[in-house]
């Protein structure tokens, strides 16, 4: 019996085990869930070691050391020592007396991410999008574009009104916020539809696996 066949059977049985939750919670589901959680944790540990820790820290430090011993130069890869140090500080959380040192690592992560993303979001998701929303409210000879542009401008404006937290939603402001809510809910409806489509696609994939790959009923 080849490994592929064994894999198919394990996959099929575990798929049915997870699906059994649809009926009600049962030991078969509990076993499948526990197996999934355990295997994924183990898999993630292995991936973290071989794909993150080894190539990013160990290999780079070994390279820096090699350059130092062979060529006598200080290579820029020594900077990974800083990353490794911050990682060790993170692990010090396990020791309550020095656990506070992990805040330095957290501060580094949060600070660099914020700095990296600040200008990127402002440019890509802010300025360029605002420019894309500045549209003519009347396009001569093109009714579709006229209506589309008005919808975009009004929807964006009223949506921004809804997310304005410094003023209570009353009067004309409240009316505009209400229009904004309508636009939001229509958008969420469209997103909901898309996501339902996505879920159905995943279910179709699983059904194809069960009936096609596993049971061989679909050619």
Partner 1 sequence: MNQENNQEVKSIWEKLLSIDRRIIFLFIAVAVAVPLFFKLSMRIPVTPVAQGTYQAIESLPAGSKVLASFDYDPGSMPELQPMAEAFFRHAFRNDLKVIIMGLWPQGPLQANIALEEVFQDEDIKAKSLQYGIDYVNLGFTAGNEVVIDRMGHSFEESYPKDGQGTPLSEIPLMRGVRNYDNVDLIFNLSAGYPGTQEWVQYAVDVFHVKLAAGNTAVQAPAMYPYVQTGQLSGVLGGMKGGAEYETLLGIPGRAVRYMFSQAVAHAVICMFIIIGNLAFFSIRKRKKTS
Partner 2 sequence: MKDKDSHWTRVLSLFLFVFVSLFLGMQTCLAQEAEQAEALQDSLAQPPAPPTNVVAKDAPNDNGHALLVIWTLSADDGAGQNNVVSYQILRSDSPDGEFEVRGLVPAGENTYKDKGAKEKEDANYLPPHKDFYYKVRVRSDGIFSDSEVSLPAHAYGQWYHTGKTAVLLAVLIFSTFALVFITVARKGKKLYIRPLAGIEAVDEAIGRATEMGKPILYILGLGSADMIATIASFTILSRVAKKTAEYQTPILIPCCDPIVMAVAQETVRAAYLEAGRPDDYKQENIYYLTSMQFAYVAGVNGIMIREKPATNFYLGKFYAESLLLAETGSLAGSIQISGTDEIAQIPFFVAATDYTLIGEELYAASAYLGREPVLLGTLKGQDWAKALVMIFLILGALAATFHFQFFLNLFKVQL
Q: Which residues bind partner 2 (CB under 8 A)?
A: 18, 21, 25, 30, 33, 36-37, 39-41, 43-44, 90, 93, 102, 106, 109-110, 113-114, 118-119, 122-123, 126-128, 130-131, 133-138, 149, 153, 156-157, 160-161, 163-169, 184-185, 188-189, 191-192, 194-195, 198-199
In the DSSP assignment, the letter for residue 219 is: -
Compare residues 74 and 215 and give the one whose CB is closer to partner 1. Answer: 215
Contacting partner 1 within 196-215 (CB under 8 A): 196-198, 200-208, 211-212
Which DSSP helix (H) or strand (E) runs through 87? helix 80-91
Q: Which does 13 bind (CB under 5 to 8 A by kind): partner 2, partner 1, none?
A: none
Determine the Cα–Cα distance for residues 166 and 177; give it in Å rounded to an integer. Answer: 13
Compare residues 172 and 197 and give the one whose CB is closer to partner 1. Answer: 197
In the DSSP assignment, the letter for residue 167 is: S
Determine the Cα–Cα distance for residues 178 and 175; give it in Å rounded to an integer. Answer: 5
161 exposure class (CB count in 10 Å sphere: 0-12, 13-18, 19+): buried
Closest CA to 89 of 110, 108, 104, 109: 104
> x/- site string to partner 1, residues 48 to 87, per CB under 8 A?
---xx--xx-------------------------------
């Amino acid at each position: 019996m080849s490994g592929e066949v064994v894999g198919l059977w394990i996959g099929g049985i575990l798929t049915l085990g997870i699906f059994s939750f649809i009926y009600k919670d049962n030991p078969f589901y509990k076993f499948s869930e526990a197996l999934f959680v355990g295997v994924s944790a183990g898999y993630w540990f292995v991936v973290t070691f071989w794909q993150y820790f080894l190539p990013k820290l160990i290999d780079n430090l070994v390279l820096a050391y090699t350059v130092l011993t062979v060529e006598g130069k200080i290579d820029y890869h020594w900077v990974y020592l800083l990353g490794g140090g911050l990682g060790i500080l993170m692990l010090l959380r396990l020791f309550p007396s020095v656990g506070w040192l992990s805040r330095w690592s957290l501060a580094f992560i949060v600070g660099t991410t914020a700095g990296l993303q600040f200008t990127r979001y402002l440019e890509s998701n802010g300025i360029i999008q605002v420019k894309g929303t500045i549209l003519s409210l009347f396009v001569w000879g093109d009714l579709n574009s006229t209506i589309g542009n008005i919808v975009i401008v009004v929807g964006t404006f009223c949506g921004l009104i809804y997310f304005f937290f410094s003023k209570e939603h009353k009067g004309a402001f409240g009316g505009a916020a209400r229009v904004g809510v309508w636009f939001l809910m229509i958008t969420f409806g469209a997103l909901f539809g898309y996501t339902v489509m996505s879920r159905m696609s995943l279910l179709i994939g699983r059904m194809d696996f069960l009936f096609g790959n596993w049971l061989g009923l679909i050619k």
